[in-house]
Each structure stands twice: as structure tokens, then as C-alpha cells.
Amino acid sequence: MGAQRRRKLRSATTLGVAVSFVAGTLTAQAALDPALAVAGPTLSVDLSAARHAISPDIYGMNGADPAFAAEIGLPVARWGGNSTTRYNFRNHTYNTGSDWYFENIVAGPDNTVEAFVKTNRDRGTKQVVTVPMSGWVAKDSPDQHPFACGFPASRFPAQDGFDQWDAGCGNGRLNNANLTGAVPEDTSIPVGASFDGEMVSHLVSRFGKAARGGVSIYELDNEPVLWNSTHRDVHPEAVSYDELGSKSTATAAAIKAADPTAAVLGPSGWGYCEWVASGVDGCAPGADAAAHGGLNLSQWFLKNMKDYSDAHRGKRMLDYFDQHYYPQINGGKDPESNAWRLRSTRSLWDPTYVEESWIGPTGVNAPPLQFIRKMKEWVAQYYPGTKTAITEYNWGALDDINGALAQADVLGIFGREGLDLATIWDEPQPTQPGAYAFRMYRNYDGAGSRFGDVSVSATSSDQGQLAVYGAQRSRDKALTLMVVNKTGGELTSPLSVAGLHGNARAQRFTYSPADLNSIVRGNDLTVHQGRVTATYPANSITLLVLPVHRR
């Protein structure tokens, strides 16, 4: 996790509805006055179109309540964040960086990388482990106050702030400006790529290689272009194309040498600026980009990794192209913020959506953002075959139904757009509405039933009002349709499914403000010749599960 964008999140529930037949189809009426429902967008599904596998790894988290992780069958978990940049596996010590007074902390037995791997391995969750790449890791340090720290009061007596529990450690700022002259050896020791190879070898010795149940994926540090901010006591210099490129290839090679079956993921940039520019250039391609063929940082990173691979007999050195994505909304829960939150999910894919934040056309990003589609476009051009990942994201308000709606929408987008891996940062607690967004995809009936694993074409005539995502389950061929009503009113919409014949009974599960503590099973709907009209409650997530009998 880096700087300039963080929001808390939480969880949600569901609502049942009554049914009535209308003109040969079944209309699901809400438990409120049906006259309040208005005609909604038309929903269309085609079982034969746009079919592709949905990776289960898009439902991952950076951390999770153990019981909740078990409940949803958490597919992947990440060991990441600012502290991992200087984590020393030899002494289980890390440095908090700018997050908390640049202090060295000895990890307790439950917070070591080995404990993380064991916990997730035991519950069948794939692990992503970050390896340090900045050139420094934490040295041996006391496990009690006073801690070793990057800006000690003994060296910098005047600072804007000091740790209230450790007055000897400051925030490295004076008169609201960063201090210079820190001594890296106060907290850290220099290391190179061989340290990362040793770390991977250590984990292989404990847990086996990736192909035999060990750590599956290793991440090339965390948000490297922010090192001169988050870890400025040891890395005050802005990161250039060349530094990122040389350290990434060397570290990837060391990882692959220690475990050829493991995957490598990177560069895990903090957000838009690192997506397109080096630390030297700032927030738009400049002189550093011009010296590297005019490519932006992401494009050049992919090309550099492929060039290195080509020079080493074609051995793949990067398996996942990873970036972090935080929508630049204000994080509030007022009506304006809520509406913006629900619109902002379009920045992941929609070529017609104009980004409304500081990275929009009046800022540094004139073209449509299309974050996932652009990642895939660059991969196809510069390093074909590389998967795509977003190992940190958070739309906020997960303690509110609005955040749950956005989260359900995002998970649907991840599946439809073919993202390969995603892990939410600052995950929802089990009782929060945001957790129910995950349950709708991973355990909607309390018995482990899940959204489908093969995406199919599903479109809405107005995705901004009523978003729809479709997938077929390989296990039983059932069609699962996730419908997110982003409006404050009930919407009655016709649904047609091309390729679905005869009559069928569709199961219906709803999460809405009517009950924020459960997902409610409603009455089944009768689908006639692939058609049904249903009413979707205001601010709700509805899952329809239809059996498929193909001719």
C-alpha cells in the first residue's frame, strides 16, 4: 500500500420478493408498493457469445478474517504493503517507513512471512509474497521501545512530529518539508537480488516449490516509484526507468533460479502516476521516457522484461503485469459521493467514460482510462502471454450498501474483462455490507454455491442503472446472472437469454437495504422460452440461477 489514497470499507445483506404472472412471463414484485417500480433497462444474455474462463483469483484479499476466508473459500491472499519493502526474513524485522515514524519492528510469531504462508497454505489459499527490491532491509533491532528508526531525535532533534510512544523517533519532516541526510545504516543493511533468491530458497525449503504446494507467486516489491517517499530514509532518490528495470530483471532471475515453477508479478505501481511515469518524470512521461523510446513506464517495463527474457533463451521472467488501482473519489457517503462511486467503476473498462477526477481530461489523462483494457492492450503489444493483476484496490464505503454495490459491480467487471488476479486492500469485515458483495459471488446460499466460472455475454441497455454480469458454471452448467441496481428506486426490467429454451425455474437471491445481515432467497421465477421480467429492489444486488438445457 502506498500514499495519496486510502479508504475504509464494510459489508451488506438481502431482500425477498413476491411473484405474480403477467402476460405469460413472471414478474417479481418487490415487497413494497409495486406501483413505485418503474420500467428499467433491457437485459440481454447470450450463452454462446463472449465465452471465456473467469479466474477464481479475482476474488482475493490482502488479509481476511479467518472464518470469513473459510466461508468464501478465499482463493488468493497477498503478503504486501509498504512494510514488505524492507522485510528481512532472516530476523523477521521490517521497517514501517513513512506509515509510522520509519521504525524497525520485530514481527511476532503470527506475523512472519512463514506464518502467512502456512496459514494460507493450510486453508488452500494461494499466496502472493512480496520480496524486497529497494536495496535495503531492516537490520537486527530491539523488539521493545526504544526502536531503531530512520529519523532519530538524536540526529534530528527538530521535527514536526514524534511517536507518542517512542519520543526518539520522528516523522522525518520539519516545517512541513522532508528532511534530508538520513543514514540508512541506522535501521537497515544493504542487500541485492541474491537476498531475494535466498528468501525464496528459504520458503522452498519450508513449504516446497510452487508446483508442489509452496508459494505460488512472488511480487517485485511494493509501489517502487514511491520509495523516495515511503522509504525516503534509505532511498531518497527518485526511481528511474533504468533502476526499476535493472532491479526487476535481476530479482526475477533470482526468484526463477530458486524456484523455476513460481510466478513473478510486478511492478505493482501505486496508481495512475506510476502507471505511466517514473519517479524522475513525475506524473507524465518526460525526459526519462524520451530516453527510453518514448514509451510510458508500464509499456517500457513490459518491453524490458520481454527483452531480458529473449536474451535468456526465452525464459519467461514476468508472469503477471500488476498495478494498483484506487478510484480518486472523495471517499464520502453523501449522495453526490455515492453516485460518483458507482459511476467510477466505468474507468476500468468503458471507452465512453470520461474520468471525473484529477486524472481526467483537465489533468494528466486526456484519453479514456479503460484501466483493465489498457493493461491488456499493452501486454499484447509488449509482452504477450503475461497475465494481468490488480493486487491493491478499494472503492470505499464497504460499511455501507453503496460500497457493497460498487464492490459487486467491480467483481463483475473483473470477471467479464478477463482480469487474472485481484486482491482488495483493507478488506471488509464479515458483518459489513462489502463482505456480502463477495458472498454473492462465493457463497450466496450459505452452502458454498458460487457464481459461474465461464463468462458469457450479458448486456444492459443502461449499465449505469442496472448492471448485469453473466457466467455459466462448469460443474452443473447453470447460468448465473448478477444484477446490480445502482438506483434509489425499484426497476422492472425484461431479461432475455439467447440459447435458453423451454420453461425453467430460476432461483433468486437478493441483498438489499431491507436486510443488511443476510442474503435472502426469494421465490423462484418462471422463465418462458428464455424470457422473464423481474423487479429489482432499489440499491440491491440480485443473483439469478437458471438451469440450462441445451438443444
236-253: pLDDT as tens digits: 999 999 999 999 999 999
Instruction: Give the pTM.
Output: 0.93
> If we measure between CA atoms, which residue out of 86, 113, 112 comes closest to residue 99?
86
What are the structural domains of the chain? 36-54+451-550 (2.60.40.1180), 55-100+108-140+190-447 (3.20.20.80)
* DSSP alpha helix (H) spans, 400-527: 401-417, 433-442
Partners of residue 130 on adjacent β-strands: 219
93-140: pLDDT as tens digits: 999 999 999 999 999 999 999 999 999 999 999 999 999 999 999 999
301-336: pLDDT as tens digits: 999 999 999 999 999 999 999 999 999 888 899 999
> Using an 8 Å Cβ cutoff, are 429 and 29 in contact?
no
Alpha-carbon 320 to chain mean position: 13
Q: Is residue 502 classed exposed, middle or buried when 0-12, 13-18 and 19+ CB atoms within 10 A define those classes?
A: exposed
Q: How confident is the model at residue 476 (pLDDT cuts 50, 70, 90)?
A: very high
d(CA 341, CA 331): 8
Residue 530 has pLDDT above 50, yes or no: yes
Mean pLDDT of all residues in 411-434: 98
d(CA 338, CA 298): 31
Q: Considering the chain, what percentage of its residues have pLDDT values greater than 70?
A: 92
The helices-and-strands tally (H runs, E runs) of the chain is 12, 30
| Cβ atoms < 10 Å from Cβ of 381 | 12
Partners of residue 431 on adjacent β-strands: none
36-73: pLDDT as tens digits: 569 999 999 999 999 999 999 999 999 999 999 999 99
d(CA 365, CA 357): 10
What's the mean pLDDT when you consider all of the chain? Answer: 92
Partners of residue 456 on adjacent β-strands: 470
List the single range of 37-41, 294-298, 418-422, 472-476 with lowest mean pLDDT: 37-41
d(CA 299, CA 515): 46
pLDDT of residue 361: 72
What is the helix (H) or strand (E) element at residue 230, kind and residue range? helix 227-230
Strand 515-521 with 421-424, pairing = unpaired
Q: How confident is the model at residue 190 (pLDDT cuts 50, 70, 90)?
A: very high
d(CA 335, CA 543): 25
d(CA 226, CA 208): 33
- Enter the C-alpha cell of residue 532: 422473464
Mean pLDDT of all residues in 347-366: 81
- Enter the C-alpha cell of residue 462: 443502461
User: Which residues have C-beta within 8 Å of that of residue 293, sequence separation ≥ 6?
Assistant: 300, 303
| Cβ atoms < 10 Å from Cβ of 394 | 28
d(CA 432, CA 73): 18
